[in-house]
Amino acid sequence: MDLRRVRYFLVLAEELNFTRAAHRLHIAQPALSQQIKALERDIGAPLLERGSRGCRLTAVGEVVTREAGELLAHADASHQRIRAAVSGRQGQLCLALTRSARGGPVDALIAAFRTRHPDVDLVVRTGWTAHNITELLAGRLDAAFVRPPLDIAGLECRHIAREELLVAVPANHPLARERRITRSHIATEPVILWPRENAPGMHDLITRQLWPAHGPRIVREEPDDEQLLLSVAAGTGIAPVPEGRARALRIPGVRLKHVTAPRPTVDLALAHPPADATPALHGLLSLVGTLPGPSAAAPSTRP
């Protein structure tokens, strides 16, 4: 199928008028008509019903309109990758973020990589730790930010940062008046958390640190930190949240509280396959140790 004809057809499908479509495409109207007829021959069915005041899409034309946008998007992406190869760009790096660690050292690391390696096509996605691990093991990612500990063989983990775990409470809750809260304060409080399957290691670590005796009394599960904090603001319960994410979201009606010693913490790591790292991945890993202060990386270890 001629992609140029598909592009012409999409403009015509928007205008439903050959004169206006030809004007947008900067071609003569008879030439546009010939290209559309040729596309109809390629497909084997009429795409338009022509009339004196314009045209309208046939049933097949409507299907082609829906599918053509995705087809052209894939074609454009492929074209960009080919052009990158021809112009000598240094490959591609597929990287996944974890939803609970946006900003801070993650953004700093990505910004540094883009600056140092402008010729690498950096493809960034976002997912939960468990999903990112699945994509890594399937070979669809080069590296991913995750929340350890991980009970997975076949991956290396490079420590990125450690941050304090805060407890979010409703603004009108008695605990909102406390300077610091104790584990006994929250032992029987209703708790909001995300599903354990999103990051089993982090989920269990939080439970051990904050509810060591009998575990939390979970009353609701939310898919992400923003929804979790909105539920706290509504008075549903309290919730443990990494400090960076909690302060970045700034949800009204929520108070963030430190917990008395021992201070609960969660880690952030960069997971990647242990061997066959691409030059682009080596470039990313070389920047991990340059992060300042408490975000500086520990040596690479198997999880």
Query: What six digits make up the tokens of 292?
Result: 């300042």
Question: Would the CA dihedral through 209, 202, 236, 168 be positive or negative?
Answer: positive
The neighbouring-strand residues paired with 54 are 51
From CA 233, how far away is CA 55, in angstroms rounded?
A: 53
My answer on whether 171 and 248 are in the same domain is yes
In a domain, 25, yes or no: yes
My answer on whether 254 and 271 are in the same domain is no
Cis amide prior to 252 (ω within 30 degrees):
no
* 89-118 pLDDT per residue, tens: 567 889 999 887 766 788 889 999 999 888
My answer on whether 15 and 39 are in the same domain is yes
Query: Of 86, 112, 145, which marks where a domain is finished?
Result: 86
My answer on whether 262 and 167 are in the same domain is yes
Range of the domain at 47: 3-86
* 1-24 pLDDT per residue, tens: 678 888 888 888 888 888 888 888
In a domain, 17, yes or no: yes
CA dihedral 281, 282, 283, 289 (to 10 degrees): 110
Q: How confident is the model at residue 152 (pLDDT cuts 50, 70, 90)?
A: confident
Query: Of 55, 86, 117, which marks where a domain is finished?
Result: 86
Instruction: Identify whether the C-beta of residue 242 lies closer than 8 Å to the C-beta of residue 266.
Output: yes
CATH number at residue 75: 1.10.10.10
pLDDT of 139 above 90: no
From CA 15, how far away is CA 11, in angstroms rounded?
A: 6
My answer on whether 148 and 278 are in the same domain is yes
* 21-60 pLDDT per residue, tens: 888 888 999 999 999 999 999 889 999 988 777 788 999 9
My answer on whether 156 and 271 are in the same domain is yes
In a domain, 301, yes or no: no
My answer on whether 166 and 261 are in the same domain is yes
pLDDT (average), residues 196-219:
95
Q: How confident is the model at residue 84 (pLDDT cuts 50, 70, 90)?
A: low
From CA 131, how far away is CA 146, in angstroms rounded?
A: 10
Query: Of 86, 107, 126, which marks where a domain is finished?
Result: 86
In a domain, 302, yes or no: no
Query: What six digits make up the tokens of 162?
Result: 């450690």
My answer on whether 152 and 17 are in the same domain is no
Q: Looking at the whole model, is its pTM more than 0.75?
A: no
My answer on whether 282 and 134 are in the same domain is yes
Instruction: Compute the C-alpha angle 51/56/62, nearest 5°.
Output: 155
Q: How many CA atoms lie within 13 A of 132 on its CB side?
A: 31
In a domain, 300, yes or no: no
My answer on whether 8 and 147 are in the same domain is no
My answer on whether 144 and 271 are in the same domain is yes
How many other CB atoms are there within 10 angstroms of residue 269's CB atom? 29
CB neighbour list of residue 144: distance below 8 Å, 6 or more residues apart: 95, 96, 97, 98, 127, 132, 133, 135, 136, 270, 271, 272
In a domain, 303, yes or no: no
pLDDT value for 189:
97
CATH number at residue 201: 3.40.190.10
pLDDT (average), residues 201-227:
94
Domain tally for the chain? 3
The neighbouring-strand residues paired with 48 are 57
Give residue 239's identity as a one-letter amino acid code.
A
My answer on whether 260 and 187 are in the same domain is yes
In a domain, 73, yes or no: yes
Residues in the chain: 303
